Amino acid sequence: MTIFNPEQYLNATMETPLEKRDPLLASGATPDGCYYATIKEVKARQWEGKTEKTAGKSGIAWDVQLEVDVPEAQRSTQGTDKRIVFDSIMLDLTEQGMIDAGKGKNGRLMMYREALDMNKPGDSFSALKMVGRPVKIKIDHRPYNNTVQEDVKSVLRAS
């Protein structure tokens, strides 16, 4: 058994420059401008506001890793048939620290649950039950540090 030591990467050298990848474009997506994807992972994290608007606020978010099926028309520019994109679900919590199921609360979470057909009365739901399930995602683009970055705008049922 080999013992993995992450410290070894501190001395790793590289001669090849790193390059930005091309953004996924609506022109190669499905007719409705969406991409098929599989939820690969959901991780929870705590966040604290860092801007003037969010200062003093904190909460829990679920970071969703989505593996996108790159359409045939874009594979030559992407260099792959799969692409990882990320989305976040900022959770609305009750005063007791539970996920708020009140009307108008947790809209992004509701979007995922609806897309996964897991939002009916009596359905047992957890974030980990999302993993491995297919969805369709609508991707928009936004500027970020002088480049274009994908932004998951909506999540829909895969079928």
The pair phi, psi for residue 48, each rounded to 5°, is -135, 140
Strands 34-48 and 58-69: antiparallel
In degrees and rounded to multiples of 5, residue 53 shows phi and psi of: -70, -35
The 10 Å CB-count burial string (b at 16+, else e) for 105-136 is ebebbebbbebbeeeeeeeeeebeebeeeebb
158: its two tokens? 């895969």
pLDDT (tens place) for every residue of the chain, 159 residues total = 667 788 888 888 888 887 777 777 655 566 677 899 999 999 999 998 888 887 888 899 999 999 999 877 777 766 678 989 999 999 999 999 999 999 999 999 999 999 999 999 998 999 999 999 999 999 888 888 888 888 899 999 998
Q: Calculate the alpha carbon distances from 126 to 44, 139, 144 in Å.
A: 12, 25, 32
